[in-house]
Structure 1
Amino acid sequence: MNNKTIFFAAGLVCLTPWISSPSALVIGLCLSSLGLVPEDFALNKVTKKLLAYSVVGLGFGIHLQEAITVTTEGIGLIATSIFCTLIFGFLLARAMKLETKISYLISCGTAICGGSAIAALSPTIKATEQQIGLALATVFILNSIALFVFPMVGHALLLDQVTFGTWAAIAIHDTSSVVGAASAYGEQALTTATTLKLSRALWIVPISFMSALLVKNKNGRAAFPYFILFYCVAILVSDYLPQYEFVYQGIFAIAKQSLVVCLFLIGCSISKENMKASGIKPMAFGVILWLLISVLSLSWLLYR
């Protein structure tokens, strides 16, 4: 069995619902480490296009009116947590002398919605697969920890359902982990966490446009993120034509699975040499930023 056969077989496996995002990343890393990735495969080009298509598809899973309602009710808390995370991330990255794009992706993943935010912002700031992979790996590891630690802390501090749901929505990166932690805590916590996290996902749009303005192409012009416009169109279409909900859910499911394939491709592009060269700084940065936001948000919720 040659490299191409193994590579494409692994890619097909990642299309199945039994492979999660972290698992796909690990599979890709294993193939890269074993030298089983075809050298003539345009990883960079395929990954960026698939990322953009996946982000557009995810837009069909967001219900605009529900997100706007929740955002209106908690706009102060949501906006403050996002901008504080980005500011803390910027200052911490400078203090640690961490590579700019990696720190920005981790900061945005922490501030907005984990892997989805990283996937949306990566093409906008022209991040490399190495930078994307390190950011995603950091977020996925912390997500896994949060899934178990947050409910334990919540029970230890006797947090009520609404307080825990709000804290989980603010301090846990990915929506899947937010839902997992909140559902383990209680039904009301799940409802609160899900709706708040949904409204935070909308911040991908303005953050992407602002990021594009900061990144110039070879002609000195801003790289306009056209795929974000289609992401907005997807949200609007699914909201104003609700009779086709079954179609939107199908597109959303496909988009989520294609994002898993993206992570497989990203893993394939990361080598041991690159990982060693990057060191432990990205992970240390992600942990410090995550702990800072988790503690500050919980403190505010407890003593407001």
Structure 2
Amino acid sequence: MLKKQKNINKYIQDLNEFAPGIILGIIVAILSHFGAKYLNQIIGYKSLISSILLGIVIGILIKNIFGVKDFFNKGLDFNVKRILRIGIVILGIRLSIFEIFSLGVSSLPIIVLCILSGLLAGYLLTKLLSLPNKLGVLIAVGTSICGASAIVATAPGIQAKKEEIAYSITVITIFGIIAMLFYPFLSNFLELNEKSAGLFLGTSIHETAQVTGAGFIYDETFGTVNVGKNAVTVKLVRNLSMIIVIPLMTILYQKESSSQKNYINIKQISKLIPLFIIGFFFMSVLRTSGDFIVNNSTIITDNNWQSFTKQLTTISKFMLVVAMSSVGLTTDIKSIKSLGLKPFLVGIIVASIVGICSLLSIIIIN
């Protein structure tokens, strides 16, 4: 009985800690959804303003004009990490396993070139600007692979300090958000088709959250349906490169330094595979199976199956709006001032090189 009471008390405590931020993210998401509809009606263009883009902007304005109290942080962090990943998992219902395989194979050469260019540029700039080696490695890995996740996974192997981890995450977050807001419009300006736009966004933007936001900003703004799911698929394939790149970076760094060896073992490598990627692939298998059943039997009608996938897509999209609104609510513009010039330069140059490499690779290969 006492144990049960403790569990209830813990549940209530967790609810009190997480609920404010979760609710705030949902409120901003609802405001951005209806706000985007209203503004588009006034402008007379169906999808000029994206609800995701508006959610990010509203969140940033609230954070930097009015401020967001600390008691919102746990819930907002939950939205950015958990709600986003659940939304991405559900998004897998929009793609068959054959589409994922086709897109994954065609994106591999571009992903490899972008990662290599980012790591090489980060290494050279770190030496050129005399930036601390660990900080340079973290910025390069975060920009080249998958942002904060790659930074946190790399840090133990090179024995990075907490300050270096926080510093590098701040750098790549700032430029990732800039890319998320700018690259969808650049893609359209360059007249990239839906596949190429998805490839560009998926290989050039840092975080999975930012790629997701950029892809759906493109879809909502320019009336497409495939750029968002293509970008996310490419990004998830890119994320899997952590399994190879992070242990390799650890070995190379330790080979150059005189620090105590702290190699990543097999168990640690297995933890580099995010569970939401597995969930995404599971949903795509479900989509493939459902399509097969619809086409080869009468168990499920085509209308019912299409209605089911459409409802899941709507749920997924709203979760992504909640997550991206929460990204805005946790973005502190003042943090730019604390970066210093050198890490700022490394961040913007490496991000630009990865973006240029992505575009050139897409043009040449495709």
Other structure's SS at 1:200 match: helix
Distance of 2:20 and 2:269 partners within structure 1 = 25
Letter in 2 for 1:141: I
Q: 2:138 aligns with which of 87, 95, 105?
A: 105
Letter in 2 for 1:151: P
Distance of 1:235 and 1:12 partners within structure 2 = 21
Superposition deviation, residue 232 in structure 1 = 4.2
Letter in 1 for 2:356: V
Letter in 1 for 2:263: A
Note if 1:285 corresponds to 2:364.
no
Q: 1:229 aligns with which of 252, 262, 270?
A: 270
Q: 2:204 aligns with which of 171, 180, 183?
A: 171
Superposition deviation, residue 198 in structure 1 = 0.7
Q: How do residues 195-234 of structure 1 correspond to structure 2 at under 5 angstroms?
A: 195-214=233-252, 220=261, 222-224=263-265, 226-232=267-273
Other structure's SS at 1:159 match: coil
RMSD (Å) for aligned C-alpha atoms: 4.7
Distance of 2:264 and 2:18 partners within structure 1 = 32
Q: Answer with 1 or 2: which has the greater Rg.
A: 2
Q: How do residues 47-86 of structure 1 correspond to structure 2 at under 5 angstroms?
A: 70-86=103-119
Superposition deviation, residue 281 in structure 1 = 0.9
Kept in 2, the 8 Å contact 1:70–1:199? The answer is no
* Alignment-derived partner of residue 177 in structure 2: 144
Kept in 2, the 8 Å contact 1:67–1:199? The answer is no
Say which is worse superposed, 183-192 or 210-219, in terms of deviation: 210-219
Distance of 2:268 and 2:17 partners within structure 1 = 24
Distance of 1:214 and 1:95 partners within structure 2 = 19
* Alignment-derived partner of residue 189 in structure 2: 156
Q: Spell out, residue by residue over 1:265-287, the C-alpha distance to the aligned partner (whole angstroms, 9 max, x if none).
A: xx9xxxx9xx86x6221111100
Letter in 1 for 2:184: P
Distance of 1:301 and 1:121 partners within structure 2 = 28
Distance of 1:232 and 1:295 partners within structure 2 = 28
Flag the 1:288–1:212 CA change in 2: closer, same or farther, 3 A: closer
How many residues get paired? 251
Distance of 2:360 and 2:282 partners within structure 1 = 39
Distance of 2:353 and 2:277 partners within structure 1 = 35
* Runs of at least 5 residues in structure 1 that lack an aligned partner in the other structure: 1-7, 31-35, 37-53, 244-252
What TM-score does the superposition give when structure 2 sets the normalisation length?
A: 0.54
Superposition deviation, residue 104 in structure 1 = 1.1
Note if 1:300 corresponds to 2:361.
yes
Note if 1:135 corresponds to 2:176.
no
What TM-score does the superposition give when structure 1 sets the normalisation length?
A: 0.64
Flag the 1:155–1:112 CA change in 2: closer, same or farther, 3 A: same
Distance of 1:138 and 1:188 partners within structure 2 = 30
Flag the 1:12–1:125 CA change in 2: closer, same or farther, 3 A: farther
Kept in 1, the 8 Å contact 2:114–2:357? The answer is no
Flag the 1:125–1:143 CA change in 2: closer, same or farther, 3 A: same
Superposition deviation, residue 237 in structure 1 = 7.7
Distance of 2:172 and 2:212 partners within structure 1 = 16
Superposition deviation, residue 222 in structure 1 = 2.8
Q: Spell out, residue by residue over 1:62-120, the C-alpha distance to the aligned partner (whole angstroms, 9 max, x if none).
A: 78x78766433332221121112111211122111111111111111111111221122
Identity %: 22
Other structure's SS at 1:158 match: coil
Distance of 1:139 and 1:233 partners within structure 2 = 20
